[in-house]
Amino acid sequence: MSKHEIRSPLPGTFYRSPAPDVPPFKTDGDAVSSSDAIGLIEVMKTFQEIQAGVAGGSIRFLVDNEEPVMAGQVIAEVEQ
Amino acid sequence: MKLRSVLVANRGEIAVRIIRAAKALGIRTVQVYSAADADMLAVKLADEAIEIGPPAPKKSYLNIEAVIAAAKRADVDAVHPGYGFLSENGDFADAVVAAGLIFIGPSGDAIRLLGDKVAARAVAEKAGVPTVPGSDGRISSLTEALAVTERTGFPVMIKAAAGGGGRGIRIVNDPAELETQFPQASAEALASFGDGGLYLEKVITRARHVEVQILGDGTDVVHCYERECSLQRRRQKVWEEAPSFLLPSDVRKKLCDSAVALARSVGYRGAGTVEYLYDDETREFYFIEVNTRIQVEHPVTEMITGIDLVEEMFRIAAGAPLSVRQADIAVKGHAIECRINAEDPRRGFMPAPGKIERLDVPEGEGIRFDTMLYEGYVIPPFYDSLLGKLIVWGEDRSACLARLSQALAELKIEGVPTTIPLHRALAADAQIATGAFHTRFLETWLETEFAADGGRAAEVA
């Protein structure tokens, strides 16, 4: 089994949900397909959707909701 | 009394602007900053700086307890809130006063009264200021909303009573759209502003956005004439001018007098702006809202009147009467401000934080650049994309535009994409030169004129 890392393309703030008070896009252990949204990055008050970019049996998040991230930082890992 | 020290409860270019004004008046400056802002220019310029929390605004610049604690620790006399963040939060103004300090702005009660769009509209009507046809205050049901549209017609805007700054607004074109959008708008307003209250306003098509700068000392109120801010993208101002040069002089007088009447009716204290929509064809103006703070575009007013609005805010807060009488305030020449944002106008205005590799600032008569930048500065991603404002003055509007084109050619910012190419194209545009624009002009122009060559024509020139 290999692990695929999902990296943030931009610096900003990471959000696990599409809006406050709604469930997260994905929770640890969920299966993902390549086009699934896994979070949002807020950069200078605009929001960019982050997609898994890879299909896998189980996702594990390494960054909490509303945490700052650097460009290139690993947000989550997907087991393939 | 004399203000000896001030806490600057903001960041970016406006924090720099406030520090410069304070220094000119001999006031000691204390700058607050988040963990992401330790290197910002205002921190370097201030006499003292205090970290107040993590990068997220709600944990730092919007954290009332943290800001008040810093003010107490620094033992300042006053707090200047700038614009955005806590500047129009009545509870913050109250907390500053409760801590025994001076809030540089109106009272918490005045902020709450004028910040509630429905209450402000009632204040305007009472002061004899024309308002946009719409609901008389909040509407509680769809039936009530539909009844209002029988009077106003369509399209109408559904607005959140607690909204502002272009947020919490939906436009609907017929009764069916109103039926769908009304409940959604209410839920959204509740989620965004903690208040689901809505009201309706008729959409004035092809309107200009014109606003009047006011100064009040609690007794007397003066105006510093108007600004023209019609060039907007997604309801955010992009380019501002003063005066609104096509405004007939009799309309200008009525408009400015109405802003003074409104401010006087509430005993306004501080700097403020009364915003209007103006219809060129009918020559009618309509009140939209009051902003109870200094605005981003205040420098264009300073350039044509010679009044330093931020210094005036300090004097008013110290209890001094207004330093100018209405008869002393005159308009000289024309001024334009370009907002320089870290956004790529050729890629859908995608924002891009990053490091400033090079900064060349134009200098000369009638040229001013208010900025947070210096070479080597790394712009953090956590806040808005405004990097600075290029403000240019000329004897008249065409002289101003010519000087602006020259200044924009000399302004160089490398390291991040900026909106400078957009402004170069606007400064060279024939329709901008005639002044034939309205609040929906820019978005169309971006699709038809700018997208065609990405502003390259102006780049070569």
The residue extents of the domains of chain B are 5-104, 133-202, 207-460
The domain defined by B133-202 folds into Dna Ligase; domain 1 (3.30.1490)
Task: Compute how many other C-beta atoms are within 10 angstroms of the C-beta atom of residue A62.
Answer: 14
Among A21, A44, A66, select the one facing B353 at the smallest CB separation. Answer: A44
Helices (H), chain A: none
Q: Would you please indicate which residues of B are annotated as catalytic (active-site) residues? A: 293
Residues of B with CB under 8 A from a CB of A: 36, 54-56, 191, 342-343, 350-353, 380-385
Per the CB < 8 Å rule, is B55 touching A12?
no
- The number of C-alpha atoms within 13 Å of B125 and in the hemisphere containing its C-beta is 13
Per the CB < 8 Å rule, is A68 touching B384?
no
> Degrees (nearest 5) of the Cα angle B289, B295, B298?
120
Instruction: Please state, in angstroms and rounded to a whole number, the distance separating the CA atoms of residues B227 and B250.
Output: 16
Average pLDDT of chain B, as a whole number: 94
Give pLDDT, residue B461. Answer: 40
What's the pLDDT tens digit per position in B184-225? Answer: 888 888 877 788 889 999 988 889 999 999 999 999 999 999
Work out the pLDDT band at A78, boundaries 50, 70, 90: very high
Give pLDDT, residue B210. Answer: 98
The strand order across the sheet containing A3-7 reads A3-7, A74-79, A58-61
Per-10-residue mean pLDDT for chain B, 461 residues long?
94 98 98 98 98 95 98 98 96 98 98 92 95 89 93 91 77 94 88 85 90 97 98 95 96 98 97 96 93 98 98 97 96 98 94 96 97 98 96 98 98 98 97 93 93 60 40
Residue from B192, B350, B419 to probe the interface with A (highest A Cβ count within 10 Å): B350
* Burial status of residue B115 (CB atoms within 10 A of its CB: 0-12, 13-18, 19 or more): buried
Q: Pick the closest to residue B200 from B220, B217, B186 (CA basis).
A: B186
> Degrees (nearest 5) of the Cα angle B220, B86, B229?
65
Instruction: Please state, in angstroms and rounded to a whole number, the distance separating the CA atoms of residues B176 and B199.
Output: 17
Instruction: Please state, in angstroms and rounded to a whole number, the distance separating the CA atoms of residues B170 and B159.
Output: 7
Give pLDDT, residue B106. Answer: 98
Per the CB < 8 Å rule, is B351 touching A68?
no
Give pLDDT, residue B460. Answer: 45
Helices (H), B294-453: 298-305, 309-317, 397-410, 420-427, 430-434, 441-445, 451-453
* Burial status of residue B250 (CB atoms within 10 A of its CB: 0-12, 13-18, 19 or more): exposed
Instruction: Please state, in angstroms and rounded to a whole number, the distance separating the CA atoms of residues B155 and B446.
Output: 24
Two tokens, residue B254: 């009525």
Share of chain B above pLDDT 70, in %: 97
- Return the residue of B nearest to A9 by Cα: B352
On chain A, the residues whose CB falls within 8 A of the CB of B38 are none
DSSP state of B450: I
Question: Taking the C-alpha atoms of B337, B338, B339 and B345 in order, what is their torsion angle to the nearest 10 degrees?
Answer: 160
Q: How far is the alpha carbon of B352 from chain A, nearest alpha carbon, in Å?
A: 8
Residue that has been written with the tokens 């009147």 in this structure: B305
Residues present in chain A in total: 80
Domains of chain A, earliest start first: 3-79 (2.40.50.100)
DSSP state of B137: S
Task: Compute how many other C-beta atoms are within 10 angstroms of the C-beta atom of residue B105.
Answer: 28
Residue that has been written with the tokens 């000399």 in this structure: B410
Instruction: Please state, in angstroms and rounded to a whole number, the distance separating the CA atoms of residues A72 and B136.
Output: 52
The strand order across the sheet containing A37-43 reads A46-51, A37-43, A12-15, A67-69
Q: Pick the closest to residue B450 from B343, B338, B352, B346 (CA basis).
A: B346
Give pLDDT, residue B21. Answer: 98
Q: How far is the alpha carbon of B169 from chain A, nearest alpha carbon, in Å?
A: 18
What's the pLDDT tens digit per position in A1-59? Answer: 689 999 999 899 999 998 887 899 999 999 999 999 999 999 998 888 999 999 998 99
Q: Give the amino acid at B177.
A: E
The domain defined by B207-460 folds into D-amino Acid Aminotransferase; Chain A, domain 1 (3.30.470)
Among A10, A21, A66, select the one facing B381 at the smallest CB separation. Answer: A10
Instruction: Please state, in angstroms and rounded to a whole number, the distance separating the CA atoms of residues B372 and B388.
Output: 6
What is the second-level CATH architecture of the domain B5-104? Answer: 3-Layer(aba) Sandwich (3.40)
Residues B404, B432 contacting (CB under 8 angstroms): no
On chain B, the residues whose CB falls within 8 A of the CB of A11 are 353, 380-381
